[in-house]
Every structure is written in structure tokens, then in C-alpha cells.
Chain A
Amino acid sequence: EVQLVESGGGLVQPGGSLRLSCAASGFTFSNYWMHWVRQAPGKGLVWVSRINTDGSTTTYADSVKGRFTISRDNAKNTLYLQMNSLRAEDTAVYYCARGYSSSSPVGAFDIWGQGTMVTVSS
């Protein structure tokens, strides 16, 4: 079964750090670009970051640039999001999602994890 499972969320104080993980299974992880998308409570979806297949290219939303770092370990089939200098407005459910692959016709985000909640509060 194709699956993404996030972990690492929790309660953190403003200015603190957290590292999210996303474990992939059921597909060739190293063939796919991967993304993080977040959703604040009761709000819409906001794209956060992406990484290419070998980790050499990363892109960030302006709201997290310089504070968040996306990375991946293809040997462990795992995607990461290191979040530093956290702010109250970073409070959200964070989803990892599968993106583009040269071997896939889709292009959009076709597989999503269940999400992990990050709460930034004192």
C-alpha cells in the first residue's frame, strides 16, 4: 500500500524548534519530488516547501524561508522538515505529499499523509 506517515508534531514555545518526519512506503520514494503543506485550524491549505528527488533542489514559501529546512534520506525513505524560530502563526497540521515524478503522469500531489499537528504557544 502506498503510504506516507508523518510524525514529530507537538507543542513548542515561540522561538523553539521541531523536526517533522514523513515515512514513505509502497513506492519508490527516490523517484518523487516531495512537499510539505500546512493547514492552520479551520483554514485552507498552504504550500510550505518542496524538494527534488536527490535533495539538491529545495524551494520554500516566503513565510518560512530562512527558518525551515526540508531534507530527505532516500536510503530511509524519509522526508524531513526542520522548523526553527517557530511563531504562533506556524500553528497548523503539517502534511507531507507526493509530487512530480518523471515516471508518473500525474504532476499534482497524489498521495498525502494523515498530517501531524504543530502548536506554537507559550
Chain B
Amino acid sequence: DIVMTQSPDSLAVSLGERATINCKSSQSVLYSSNNKNYLAWYQQKPGQPPKLLIYWASTRESGVPDRFSGSGSGTDFTLTISSLQAEDVAVYYCQQYYTPSYTFGQGTKLEIK
């Protein structure tokens, strides 16, 4: 199975500052035939289900604020929140959907400094 490793495990950022979360896969999730990275990012707030933020590594889901962006290819990916808002406090997960084990990273807890 592909192992997804996020860093850091937790992060405290001041309001209005940039937050960066990294995700590394144990093998490439880039499908050469369509040049797409099978990598998604989710946000989960306490007591709520996960919410899809980013798919194909960098495509923002409809309705997601443009302060959220995804980048990377192959095995190394990044979720960036350009200007942290109070409502962004949550746990963030990356997920590969390249193989039907659909593994998630362990999660990164984002808090306000």
C-alpha cells in the first residue's frame, strides 16, 4: 500500500499569515497516461465530516476559497493557506486515490497562534 506522510503533525499560525502543510507519498501518484496526480486534500472541523478542498493535487473544489491552493507532483505535495482565517482551524488530510487502498495521511492539526 502507498503510505502517505504529512508534516508537520500540528501547526500554529497567526491570523493573516501563511500556513503550509506537506504530504509525501511512498510511491508516485502521477498517472502518466493522463498526467494527473491522484492526490486530494480534505479539511475536517471538530464534529464534522471531512470536506474536499483540492483534487488532482491542485484543482480547487467548487466553493472553496481561493486562499487554499495545492501544489506538487509525483510524491511531494503541499497545501497552502495564503492568509489564515479563524474558520480555517481544522485538521487537514491528504489522500491518494491512485490505488484502491485510498490511503490518507495521518492529519495535520492547524491552530491559531
Contact with B along A94-111 (1 / 0, CB 8 A): 010001000001111110
B55 and A106 contact, CB distance less than 8 A: yes
A107 and B93 contact, CB distance less than 8 A: no
**Residue A72 interfacial (CB < 8 Å):** no
Q: In whole angstroms, how far apart are the Cα atoms of A50 and B104 in the complex? A: 15
Q: Which of B40, B105, B106, B107 contacts A109 (CB 8 A)?
A: B40
How many chain B residues have a CB neighbour from A under 8 Å?
A: 25
B56 and A107 contact, CB distance less than 8 A: yes
Chain B interface, DSSP helix/strand/loop, else mixed: loop
Query: Which chain B positions have C-beta within 8 A of A47?
Result: 101-104
Residues of B within 8 A of A (CB): 36, 38, 40, 42, 44, 48-52, 55-56, 59, 61, 93, 95, 97, 100-107
Residues of A within 8 A of B (CB): 35, 37, 44-47, 50, 59, 61, 95, 99, 105-110, 112-115
B50 and A108 contact, CB distance less than 8 A: no
Q: Are A95 and B102 also in contact (CB < 8 A) when A108-B97, A109-B40 are?
A: no
Chain A interface, DSSP helix/strand/loop, else mixed: loop
Q: Are A44 and B52 also in contact (CB < 8 A) when A106-B61, A107-B97 are?
A: no
A24–chain B nearest beta-carbon distance, Å: 14
Q: In whole angstroms, how far apart are the Cα atoms of A45 and B101 in the complex? A: 12
Query: Which chain A positions have C-beta within 8 A of B44?
Result: 45
Q: Are A45 and B97 also in contact (CB < 8 A) when A50-B102, A107-B55, A107-B56 are?
A: no
Query: Which chain A positions have C-beta within 8 A of B102?
Result: 35, 37, 47, 50
A59 and B100 contact, CB distance less than 8 A: yes
A95–chain B nearest beta-carbon distance, Å: 6
B49 and A95 contact, CB distance less than 8 A: yes
A108 and B51 contact, CB distance less than 8 A: no
Q: In whole angstroms, how far apart are the Cα atoms of A115 and B59 in the complex? A: 26
Q: Which of A44, A59, A61, A113 contacts B93 (CB 8 A)?
A: A44
Q: In whole angstroms, how far apart are the Cα atoms of A106 and B64 in the complex? A: 14
A112 and B104 contact, CB distance less than 8 A: no
